[in-house]
Amino acid sequence: MSQTHKNVTRRPLVAGNWKMYRTASDTRSLLEDIVKLVSKIATMDLVVCPPFTSLSVAAETLGRHGILALGAQNMHQNKEGAFTGEISGPMLREFGVRYVILGHSERRQYFNETDAQVAAKAQAAVGYHLRPIVCVGETLAQRDAGETTAVVTSQVRASLSGFPVDQLEELVLAYEPIWAIGTGKVATPQQANEVHLNIRKLLVKQFGSKGSDIRVIYGGSVKPDNAAELMAQPEIDGALVGGASLDAKGFFDIIESARSARASEND
């Protein structure tokens, strides 16, 4: 495993997690602004994950362009049922959704989502042809206590427990240190790369050589001014962007950083 070069078989991925921002009527103009800036980049996957209520208008807006794929921010593992307030995989597929963020720290923290639920959701997602973006990450207290490796290791193992090996190419992992989310406090590129490297080793241990092809992206205060350095790290395969993805130019600049990091690898 190279420490200094990216594995070029892993296609970079930049996803915008809009969280609970933007109504359906605001969605169209933001997406149109993004689409105007972003031309089709054949070597990268670009994803936007608006709220559920914006998926319909987002699908309609993006459908005409085919530049950005659509993602959701959560999903229930069952196909249907008496689960008030929940949304299933087939419901997402109907809007052309291709990706789904699972186990985001805000879901774990505020809605008590467990690793076991995340694992069940990830398996269900691939069954519905949705690509799971499974999130892991430690709190500041855990980092300060020297527990980062233990926490992330346990989350990765448990959240991917039972994940079908023949669907690994669909899987994306996101390392999002909780202390860096929405705080403006970004992990240094070296801190992030170190955790990514540990995740990579775990994936290879859990899934064999196929584990080296799974994309591991970074999230937590990724901004236009820090993206280039983060994206240049050998084990960082892209970004999961929160706040900065709500600004078309900011999101575009981050995409450009990921693109240049890949282009320089190909030189």
Q: Is 229 a catalytic residue?
A: no
DSSP 49: E
Residues near ligand 13P (CB under 6 A), total:
14
Q: What does the block give as tokens for 101? A: 């963020």
Catalytic residue among 76, 104, 106, 170: 104
Instruction: Please give the residues from 238 up to 257 whose contact with ligand 13P meets the rule CB under 6 A.
Output: 240-244
* By the rule CB under 6 A, 177 interacts with ligand 13P: no
Radius of gyration (C-alpha) of the chain in whole angstroms: 17
Q: How far is Cα 239 from Cα 250, in angstroms, rounded to an integer?
A: 13
Nearer to ligand 13P, 201 or 223 (CB): 223
Strand locations in 182-253, DSSP E?
Answer: 215-219, 238-241
Nearer to ligand 13P, 163 or 179 (CB): 179
- Contact flags string 103-142 toward ligand 13P, x per CB under 6 A: -x--------------------------------------
Cα distances (Å, whole numbers) of residue 2 to 61, 140, 236: 40, 29, 13
30-38, 114-122, 215-223, 258-266 -> range binding ligand 13P (CB under 6 A):
215-223
Catalytic residue among 106, 176, 235, 256: 176
Least distance (Å) from ligand 13P to the CB of residue 47?
A: 11
Q: What does the block give as tokens for 64? A: 């005409």
60-68, 151-159, 193-201, 217-225 -> range binding ligand 13P (CB under 6 A):
217-225
Binds ligand 13P by CB under 6 A, chosen from 12, 89, 211, 219: 219
Q: Is 176 a catalytic residue?
A: yes
Q: How far is Cα 179 from Cα 238, in angstroms, rounded to an integer?
A: 19
Nearer to ligand 13P, 221 or 257 (CB): 221
When CB distances to ligand 13P are compared, the closest residue is 242
* Sign, CA torsion 125/248/251/34: positive
Least distance (Å) from ligand 13P to the CB of residue 105?
A: 7
* By the rule CB under 6 A, 181 interacts with ligand 13P: yes
Q: What does the block give as tokens for 107? A: 């879901």
Find out whether 262 and 5 touch, Cβ atoms under 8 Å: no
Q: How far is Cα 257 from Cα 212, in angstroms, rounded to an integer?
A: 23
Q: How far is Cα 163 from Cα 134, in angstroms, rounded to an integer?
A: 11
- Contact flags string 2-31 toward ligand 13P, x per CB under 6 A: ---------------x--------------
* By the rule CB under 6 A, 182 interacts with ligand 13P: yes
Instruction: Please give the residues from 42 up to 81 whose contact with ligand 13P meets the rule CB under 6 A.
Output: none
Q: How far is Cα 155 from Cα 86, in angstroms, rounded to an integer?
A: 23
Q: CA torsion 105→48→58→77, rounded to 10°? A: -40
The DSSP bridge pattern shows strands 99-102 and 13-17 to be unpaired
Q: Which residues bind ligand 13P (CB under 6 A)?
A: 17, 104, 176, 181-182, 219-222, 240-244
Catalogue the active-site residues: 104, 176
